[in-house]
Amino acid sequence: MESFVPLLITGIAGVPGYNALHYFRAKYPGQVFGIRQEDNLRLTGPGVVACNAEDHDGLARLFDRQQFAAVLNCAGNCALRACELDPALAWRINVEGVQNLLSQTVPRGLPLVHLSVDMVFSGERDGGYVETDPTDPVTVYGKTMAVAEQAVLEADPSACVLRISLPMGTSSSGHAGAIDWITSRFKKGRPATLYFDEIRTPTYTDCMNALYETVLARGVAGAERRACEMGTESERRTVLEETWSRHNSSTFRNLGAVPQPFPQTRNTHDLSESRDARHTECAGYIEPPTADSAALSGLYHAGGPRRLTLYQIAQVINRVGGYDPCLLHGCLRREAGPIPPRAGNVSMDCTKLIAALGYNPFDPWPLYDDLVPGDLDWHYRRPTDDPEPGSAGRLYRLLCRNPARRHRGDDGDAGRAERRYAIAAARRIG
């Protein structure tokens, strides 16, 4: 049994958390728990716990009861329009929720993997952002996520913050996330309008799950080494509690109300690895931790290697799913309304992460080059000799799951649990 279980996964209503919960529960049954907001009554199942991220006392009771060994924080309100219209709600979930989580992980010395997002950048340059680039978000969502990641790194220098892009997988609701939202429009015969000039680096959730597992395993190994260096359990507890008290008093002093305007975020992270690190063909590989495996702490960019506009992403979904091509519309960001504002080219350079791991954790999305649009009308052209025309099943196999991923095999409880999840997800898409 891996030393990072019992594992807590937050934000399981979102695409990253939902897919991570199923991945880890299949591999470590009975040892993985996910929390959702109390008003999300539809999200139920084994290991699912109703607990609001901002509920300090409820979170404390959950940690005391389950004695978690590590935490994967996927929580956050990413509804752009809702965040613009209600900044206080965005602050409460995206920032105060992180404060509450840190109040449990830091004093207990628990490894923490925190997910941030590429939307902390404006995209007003030609992409290729690295970790040392200053953040300049244009949305309330991006601003709260920038504040949250800074708070994590200041309160817990051993934590790992992964800035992700668009996670490509299914959602719990069937209409959240890029694939499910676009698909939900097309399959009902409704049009979908996407942007020609918002550029992201989408990533298969299969690749992301394997990355989380590696980072968590390394984080636990690093925590164990730090614990040995601190001496006795009593001495360790005292140091950790003092650390949290110090950061809690300085970093979160003014969290009682939403700052107006949001504070300027700063970037103090060092990018020491060479930008010429070699990319290796090892996506989906899970590296077993060794005594020499260095824990990944600090900030890392974790986007896929292929840059695509939102319009191109919708083209892929439209053609692979076999939907009516006339339903897809496109426009420039400036042609859309002012709420919510849209970022531009927020593609990220992941050289630092690849160098730290020693391999490239991500395959491109979509995996196959012949599924990458070459022009604005690409999705209208359907190959007449295609032995498998567009369908919901094909969309799931090629776009929601990574065709090149390393399967665990057909035997055992983990394989059966994963197949049940896959069948249910494919049916929702169809």
The first and second tokens of residue 167, run together, are: 């996670």
How far apart are the C-alpha atoms of 94 and 87, rounded to whole Å?
Answer: 10
* Structural domain contains residue 2: no
Per-residue pLDDT at 46 exceeds 50: yes
In a domain? residue 79: yes
- Rounded Cα–Cα distance for residues 23 and 37 (Å): 21
Q: Which two tokens stand for residue 19?
A: 């897919």
Q: Is the pLDDT of residue 253 over 90?
A: no
In the numeric block, which tokens belong to residue 259? Answer: 């700052």
pLDDT(168) > 90: yes
Q: What is the pLDDT of residues 360-393, one digit of tens each?
A: 999 999 999 999 999 999 999 998 877 777 899 9
Predicted local confidence at residue 254, as pLDDT:
43
Euclidean distance between CA atoms 140 and 412, whole angstroms:
45
The angle that helices 97-108 and 233-251 make with each other, rounded to 10 degrees, is 160
- Asked, for residue 243, whether it belongs to a domain, the answer is yes
Residue 171: name the closest of 398, 396, 419, 404 by CA: 396
Classify residue 268: in a domain, yes or no.
yes
Which CATH number does the domain housing residue 220 bear? 3.40.50.720
Tokens of 403: 């065709």
**pLDDT of the residue at 320:** 96
Report the domain count for the chain: 1
Could you read off the pLDDT of 327-337 as tens digits, one per residue?
A: 999 999 999 87
Per-position DSSP letters for 212-259, written without gaps between them: HHHHHHHHHHHHHHHHHHH-SHHHHHHHHHHHHHHHHHHHTTTTTS--
Evaluated on CA atoms 22, 73, 306, 373, the torsion sign reads positive
The residue with greater pLDDT, 235 or 37, is 37
| Cα distances (angstroms) measured from residue 16 to each of 10, 85, 132, 140, 265 | 10, 24, 25, 20, 25
Distance between CA atoms of residues 42 and 237, nearest Å: 39
223 within domain boundaries: yes
For residue 260, what are the domain limits?
7-429
Q: Between 336 and 310, whose confidence is greater? A: 310
On whether residue 37 sits in a domain, the answer given is: yes
Type and span of the H or E element at 116: strand 112-117
Tokens of 75: 């929580």
Per-residue pLDDT at 279: 34
Q: Which pLDDT score, from 0 to 100, does residue 422 have?
A: 54
Tens-place pLDDT, residues 335-350: 987 879 999 999 999 9
- 296 occurs within a structural domain: yes
Q: What confidence tier does 174 reach under pLDDT thresholds 50, 70, 90? A: confident
Cis check: omega of the bond before 366, within 30 degrees of 0? yes
Can you list the positions of beta strands (E) in 118-156? none
What digits encode the pLDDT tens for the residues 275-298? Answer: 333 233 445 445 555 444 678 999
* Element spanning 9, H or E: strand 7-10
Average pLDDT over residues 66-89: 94
More confident residue, 211 or 79: 211
Q: Read off the pLDDT of each residue in 215-244 and give the average, rounded to a whole number.
A: 64
Most confident of 231-235, 247-251, 369-373: 369-373
| Per-residue pLDDT, 348 | 98
Question: 1 lies in a domain?
Answer: no
How many separate helices (H) and strands (E) can be counted in the chain? 13, 13
Residue 133 has pLDDT above 60, yes or no: yes
Question: Under 8 Å CB-to-CB from 309, ≥6 apart: which residues?
Answer: 194, 195, 196, 197, 198, 199, 200
Give the pLDDT confidence score for residue 339 in this predicted structure: 79
